[in-house]
Structure 1
């Protein structure tokens, strides 16, 4: 599927806000990444809002926003870029969009590879995260903010 076909498919999800309502194995994943107790507890209790937008220059911006912390990245489809994760760590990232799915791969300086699959639906967003060397699958569910 070409980027133009994908854009047409994803248009209904662009600019919509999705708020996190549930998560499973997220704390264990943050431990795997090496984050400290206080940061992990804060991250788990943020309940962020997720927004994906397309910019005038054809790039996309993916943002997670909460009252205490926010992060965003701007990217071109299928091109590797440097991203700063919400925890401040710089990673090499690649985002591919196909149908209603956004595949986001991150590689940190220690070689840890994480893949976040975001599946957009009219009423929710489901994020599934896996990582090489991590034996669980993280699931986060976001509901559409109406």
Structure 2
């Protein structure tokens, strides 16, 4: 009968016999960590701590995979809690002035002020995020990788160069065109999604509430 192995390299409560050089073991563990990082992050963090402790016990150094450096792991794990959740617009402040500053016409502004979009953030296996916004007026979506510039056509028709960066539970979306630079800060919380939109000296705040 085979013996069960625990997630931290244990076998029925006891340590597994080590095989190979320390360097080869670290290389193998680093590969496992990278796979776990993208598929099971709580386990990856547990495994990473175990390997670091084991290296210290051997008076050796353990090369940390790049995914665990510079708060990358903590940032992505923080955002995972808000994936595949839908948020519906609950309140909006100064949205008409914001749209006006973008050059949006009066009729479109009136329609924009009457709808309550539902937004959702999802993530694919290759690490790309998709942010969708659906309403009776218009459905839009963008797909991006954190920190990488991409082409975007905004809901009001502007062609911009966009970049999305992350800090904890916040996504900062910067849109640049020949005439304007706009920013959209999205702060995800269990009970709401807060958006702060800025262009020139105009600031708009929109709050969304979870619907599932």
- Normalised by the length of structure 1, the TM-score is 0.93
Superposed CA offset, 1:67-93 (max 9, x none)? 231100000100111011112221110
Runs of 5+ consecutive residues of structure 2 not aligned to the other structure? 1-69
Cα RMSD, aligned residues only: 1.2
> Which portions of structure 1, spanning 4 or more consecutive aligned residues, are displaced by more than 4 angstroms?
none
CA distance in 2, matches of 1:2, 1:15: 23
Partner of residue 137, structure 1: 203
Structure with bigger gyration radius: 2
Conserved 8 A contact 2:101-2:202? no
Q: Which structure shows the higher helix fraction? A: 2
In the alignment, is residue 27 of structure 1 matched against residue 96 of structure 2? yes
In the alignment, is residue 58 of structure 1 matched against residue 160 of structure 2? no
Conserved 8 A contact 2:152-2:160? yes
Partner of residue 120, structure 1: 188
77, 80, 95: which one pairs with 2:149?
80
- For the residue of structure 1 that corresponds to 2:202, the secondary structure is coil
Runs of 5+ consecutive residues of structure 1 not aligned to the other structure? none
CA distance in 2, matches of 1:82, 1:3: 24
Q: How many corresponding residue pairs?
A: 143
Q: Which structure shows the higher strand fraction? A: 1
- Normalised by the length of structure 2, the TM-score is 0.65
